[in-house]
Chains A and B, each alone.
Chain A
């Protein structure tokens, strides 16, 4: 004990400083992350000013990829589709996952069992989910045929789900909802459990009914959760890819060619990595803005100050 006191004093830092990690502890993870996630961000900006076809080395072409891309009508079209898919995703998933999450936040036994079942899609890869739905929605051997009283024959005559553009967007939105709702339900469940029970007790004493309690207590209290969840949906929606690749291949025509799918086509199908890099840079700019808003709005960056006052 005496040695400790001496050491503390000689360093002039007080006993509590002993045993704190130096910044070196954070370096391995940061360097690793920088190499594989931050360095590529720089590389792609450079690639966007070059011409490269995956063979040989990229050569500098100046701003020509950028000017060509801005003249390309498909760019605007892909932005529009990405925007539509993102908005539809948020509009369908938010109310459903909020209601399910609040419901699942109760501690009743039957709710726990159902929640475990609701969780299933979260375990499946996006590819597995898309492949299963592709089979289920197949016009001749799938549900549309078996349940034609529900789907109607008109859809058949128009070439069905994957050949009309509103229907194809509808399919992607529906499958996205099936895939992502469990995740957001969990987030809302966590948020709803953090609401102090006292608020509800006080409201019941004042005679507020269930609906009133939901709108006046639950929804306002879930504000931060809602922001977090919606921003995650936004970031996910902006980069929808796997479901498009399996279910619609961007079609019919270019009706579901989102920006990230368009980038995939330009790069890995047409081997024009210059234009593909331009699209990547645009994706990065948009998602970085979104994530900055996320960090601000959700208070994630303030998390570190909540506990430590030492």
Chain B
């Protein structure tokens, strides 16, 4: 295989795509350190004449760092709920063949394709009726719910990789389901756990529709909503918008650097064989 002649067509195509992906990222980072005047005069792709951090101070002074706190709370709480609920249901799906559990699994499979847009009106209605509108809890609860289907499927896949022999050994030792879960299943599915943590954190951090509809006051604003409002208010100030986007990506980038494998392996498995 490796002795084939180089594939020029593939080379050209992948380089072209690389430019398409990297160019906006270059503009994003570069423009965030450029004065607005310099940017508008010389265009997005140009090399900047001088660098400045004033865009970052503009963004920070507009209260942008406040969004870090709100988004952090939403993300941590979402991941917490997902971690609490998903491993037990995945364990049941893998090790319990009853009709009830099969039904639950099918419900999650169907839930995979229920779009957030389709339920945003009733969720808005429910949150108003239970007096949670304009709180972070109103954002956290449905965000976690919509992370469950894919997390459950990823987790189920990971737990299926545990060989039946191991379960057999545990049951010969007389371990009850709680001990099997705690002492064997959880430690052996660390990879799956890492994937669902990264996946649900990414989902919560980047979520937009729930915060847009379910919160109103600035103290409850998350990053995506702040970014949207900032763009609506300062549409022409491209460098400041770029600085805001860069700030919103940094935490995700850190997570990506540490947990790249977990995320990629998990998503690669979605397509099946």
Contact = CB atoms under 8 A, between A and B. Distances in A.
A155 interface: no
A143 B18 contact: no
A308 B10 contact: no
A198 B152 CA distance: 33
Interface stretch (B51-59, B111-119, B189-197): B111-119
Interface string B130-174: 000000000001101110110011001100100010011011111
Interface in B55-103: 81, 84-86, 88-89, 91-98, 100-102
A163 interface: no
A61 interface: no
B260 A116 contact: yes
A287 B113 contact: yes
10 contacts: A36-B142, A41-B118, A128-B224, A132-B28, A134-B235, A142-B238, A186-B270, A194-B273, A229-B271, A291-B109
Contacts, number: 348
A188 B269 CA distance: 10
Contacts of B245: 124, 128, 131-132
Interface string A250-280: 0000000000100110011000010011001
Contact of B145 (A17, A32, A116, A301): A32
B270 A228 contact: yes
Given A7-B174, A38-B111, A146-B45, A33 B231 contact: no
Contact of A190 (B153, B256, B271): B271
A273 B121 contact: yes
B177 interface: yes
A36 B248 contact: no
A18 B176 contact: yes
A97 B46 CA distance: 30
Given A28-B85, A284-B118, 20 more contacts: A18-B171, A21-B177, A29-B88, A33-B111, A33-B148, A37-B148, A40-B122, A41-B122, A58-B125, A103-B14, A123-B252, A127-B208, A131-B241, A132-B28, A132-B242, A178-B20, A186-B268, A204-B1, A276-B121, A294-B113
B40 A141 contact: yes
B148 A47 contact: no
Given A127-B227, A186-B267, A295 B88 contact: no
Nearest to B85: A29
Nearest to A106: B1
Nearest to A299: B272
A280 B119 contact: yes
Instruction: Give the top 10 A-B pairs by smallest Cβ distance, nearest first.
Output: A291-B113, A190-B268, A146-B43, A36-B145, A125-B206, A40-B122, A29-B89, A43-B122, A25-B92, A187-B271
Given A33-B107, A288-B110, A300-B272, A183 B100 contact: no
Contact of B92 (A3, A23, A188, A229): A23
Given A124-B249, A127-B224, A299-B272, A21 B113 contact: no
Contacts of B177: 19-22, 25
Q: Which among B4, B118, B228 has the greatest number of chain A C-beta atoms within 10 A?
A: B118
Given A40-B122, A145-B43, A21 B91 contact: yes
Interface in B195-211: 202, 205-209
A37 B146 contact: yes
A69 interface: no
B145 A268 contact: no
Contacts of B112: 291, 294
Contacts of B47: none
A15 B172 CA distance: 6
A30 B89 contact: yes
Interface of A: 3-4, 7, 15-23, 25-30, 32-41, 43-44, 47, 52, 54, 58, 96, 99-100, 103, 114, 116-121, 123-128, 131-136, 138, 141-143, 145-147, 178, 182-183, 186-191, 193-194, 197, 200-201, 204, 210, 224-225, 228-229, 231, 235, 238-239, 241-242, 245-246, 260, 263-264, 267-268, 273, 276-277, 280, 283-284, 287-288, 290-292, 294-295, 298-301, 303-304, 306-308, 310
B224 A178 contact: no
Nearest to B145: A36
Given A25-B89, A30-B89, A37-B145, A284 B114 contact: yes
A36 B268 contact: no
A41 B118 CA distance: 8
A37 B119 contact: yes
B142 to A, nearest CB: 5
B96 A22 contact: yes
A7 B172 CA distance: 11
Given A146-B43, A287-B113, A295-B110, A23 B121 contact: no
A15 B21 CA distance: 56
Contact of B101 (A26, A52, A145, A299): A26
Contact of A131 (B102, B118, B228): B228
B123 interface: yes
A223 B194 CA distance: 29
A225 B96 contact: no
A26 B92 contact: yes
A277 B145 CA distance: 21
Interface string B214-253: 0000000001100110010001101001100100110011
